[in-house]
Chains A and B, each alone.
Chain A
Amino acid sequence: MVDAMKAWPMAGHLPPGDHGARTGKGDAPLTLSERRPGSIVEVGCWPDTLNRMQMVLPQLARNTAILDLAPGRWWVVAEQTGVARDLERGIEPGLGAVVDLSDARAALRVSGPAMPDLISRILPLDFRDDRLPPGGSAETVTAHMNVTLHRVDATTVDLFVFRGFTRSFLHHVQEAARGFGYRVTSP
C-alpha cells in the first residue's frame, strides 16, 4: 500500500539539471524523470478464466494503463492509490489473483527524440512501431536486471525495475544517456 510518507526510490538519486554532452540551445534530446504511480498491481488468472478476466479487468481498472505482459498476467498502473484494493474487491479468488507491487518497483520515464536510440543501447528490443506500438509493453533484461517497459507514446517509455536495483539501473541508464546529453526533470 502506498502511503503519504512513502520514500520514493529515486528521490535524491536523480538530481534535476542538464547532464552529459552539451546539447546547445533548445530542448535536450532526452529527458529523464522519476515516475511516481500511486498503484502498480499485478493481476493473474487461469486458462479457464482468461476470457472472463479479459472482459472484467478493463471494467474494473478504468483510468489506468493495463500492460498485457504474458498469457493470463497483467499489470495495472495508475496515478491514484488504492487500485489493488478495488481490484481485490472485484476479482474473487476463483477468477484470478491480485498482488500489490506499488512499493516493489522503481519507475523511470524516458522521453525525447533520442529515446529509441538510448533504449537500443540498453535493451534488446525492436522499437519499430509495428513491433512495439504506443500503449504496448514488454518485459526484458538489461545488465541482469529485469525491466518492464511501457511505451507511452512514440518518444516516451516508462521503465520499471525491482526497487532494490534503483541505483544500479539509474547508473546504467545515465551512462548510456551521457553521449546524447539529457535533462533530469522533477517528477
Chain B
Amino acid sequence: MIIDCPVCGPRHLTEFSYGGEASRTPVGIAQTDQQAWEGYVFARNNPRGLHDEHWQHSGGCRSWLHVRRDVTNHRIHSVRLMGPFAARHAGHTSP
C-alpha cells in the first residue's frame, strides 16, 4: 500500500504507523460515564468500504494524516495533513 503524503509525496506503507479510526470523538476528561468511555475506548464502526483513519508518517516527516481508505481493496481516496501546519498544505484527492 502506498500513501501519498501531502508533504513527502507517495511513500510505502513501511514508513507509516496506524493511528486508529478517525471518526471517534474523545470523551471529556471530566466525564465519568462508563458507557461513554467504553464507547470511546472499545467501540469501532468497522465498516465494509470507506474508512476514515489516522496515520502518522513516523518514518518520514512525522506528520499526522487523515486518510480515507477503502478497506475492501486498500484504495486510498483522500489524504489530508493534520496538525498546526495543515492550513499550508492542500493535500491530495485521488481521482
Contact = CB atoms under 8 A, between A and B. Distances in A.
Interface of A: 46-47, 50, 69-73, 124-126, 131, 138-141, 146
Nearest to A139: B60
Contact of B60 (A47, A72, A140): A140
Contact of A47 (B14, B61, B88): B88
Interface in B69-91: 81, 84-85, 87-89
B18 to A, nearest CB: 15
Interface string B57-68: 001111100000
B11 A71 contact: no
A47 B87 contact: yes
A70 B7 contact: yes
Query: 3 tightest A-B contacts by CB?
Result: A141-B59, A71-B85, A70-B61
A140 B5 CA distance: 12
A50 B86 CA distance: 13
Given A70-B63, A126-B9, 11 more contacts: A46-B84, A71-B7, A71-B61, A71-B63, A71-B85, A124-B15, A131-B9, A140-B11, A140-B15, A141-B14, A146-B59
A69 B59 CA distance: 12
B92 interface: no
Contacts of A46: 84
26 contacts: A47-B84, A47-B88, A50-B85, A50-B88, A69-B61, A70-B7, A70-B61, A71-B7, A72-B84, A72-B85, A124-B11, A124-B12, A124-B14, A125-B11, A126-B9, A126-B10, A131-B9, A138-B8, A138-B60, A139-B60, A139-B61, A140-B11, A140-B59, A141-B15, A141-B59, A141-B60
A119 to B, nearest CB: 14
Nearest to A69: B61
A126 B15 CA distance: 14
Nearest to B87: A47
Contact of B89 (A71, A126, A131, A138): A71
A22 B75 CA distance: 44
Given A126-B10, A131-B9, A138-B8, A70 B88 contact: no
